[in-house]
């Protein structure tokens, strides 16, 4: 199973788990009402086992719901922390990136700036592959990467070098064009 399908599978499982707790919340009162209804109609006596089963089921469902909610909150916090970190790092690089057209591509400073930008992009991509960055956010970031690759030959040259040396972890220009180009084209219009 490749990384893209792992990340996609994780996103699908999370979405399913987040949606699953809603029916569970609705089924709990229905179960309690069903027990009370059966008792009031005289279909059966409520025994201590029925009460214990209902109570244990309720506690288990509430525990599951709490776990899912806690997990979701932790993942959102992690995402926003990463988002802030990536944006800060990009902001720190952006002035240098915007001066790349004035600097020789072989200059040591240029290589360092482009290397830092590539590393940042690769980190974002790896987290996306493992389902840690939402699809929409990734597509915007990917379109931004395409923008810089198209605008600055130094970035494209470095990126292609990383592809040739297999240091890109699958984040190729072709992959970006295939998965993020529609947003990038809409932004450039």
For residue 71, give its domain range.
3-188
Q: For residues 186 and 145, is the Cβ–Cβ distance under 8 A?
A: no
d(CA 141, CA 147) in angstroms, rounded, equals 10
For position 44, what pLDDT does the model report?
67
Q: For residues 2 and 126, is the Cβ–Cβ distance under 8 A?
A: no
Instruction: Give this prediction's pTM.
Output: 0.67
pLDDT, tens digit, 9 for 90 and up, residues 102-154:
667 777 888 888 989 999 999 999 888 888 888 888 999 999 999 999 988 88
Task: Quote the number of domains for the chain.
Answer: 1
Percent of the chain with pLDDT strictly greater than 90: 16
Intra-chain end-to-end CA distance of the chain, in Å: 37
| Sign (positive or negative) of CA dihedral 153, 154, 157, 158 | negative
Residue 69 has which token pair?
């909610």
d(CA 135, CA 138) in angstroms, rounded, equals 5
Digitized pLDDT (tens) for each residue of the chain, 189 residues in all: 444 455 566 666 666 666 666 676 777 777 777 777 777 777 767 677 777 877 787 788 778 778 877 887 888 888 888 889 998 999 999 888 888 776 677 778 888 889 899 999 999 998 888 888 888 889 999 999 999 999 888 899 889 988 898 888 888 999 899 888 766 454 444
> Please, what is the average pLDDT of the chain?
79
Q: For residues 147 and 184, is the Cβ–Cβ distance under 8 A?
A: yes
């Amino acid at each position: 199973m490749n990384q893209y399908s792992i990340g996609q599978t994780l996103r699908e499982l999370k979405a399913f788990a987040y949606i699953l707790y809603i029916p569970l919340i609705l089924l709990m009162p229905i179960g309690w009402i069903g027990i009370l209804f059966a008792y009031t109609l005289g279909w059966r006596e409520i025994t201590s086992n029925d009460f214990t089963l209902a109570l244990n089921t309720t506690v288990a469902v509430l525990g599951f719901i709490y776990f899912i909610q806690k997990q979701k909150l932790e993942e959102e916090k992690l995402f926003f922390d990463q988002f802030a970190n990536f944006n800060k790092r990009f902001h720190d690089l952006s002035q240098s990136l915007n001066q790349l057209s004035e600097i020789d591509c072989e200059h040591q400073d240029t290589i360092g700036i482009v290397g830092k930008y590539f590393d940042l992009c690769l980190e974002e991509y790896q987290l996306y592959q493992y389902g840690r960055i939402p699809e929409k956010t990734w597509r915007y970031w990917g379109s931004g990467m395409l923008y810089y690759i198209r605008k600055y030959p130094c970035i494209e040259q470095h990126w292609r070098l990383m592809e040739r040396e297999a240091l890109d972890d699958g984040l190729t220009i072709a992959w970006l064009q295939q998965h993020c180009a529609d947003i990038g084209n809409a932004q450039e219009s």
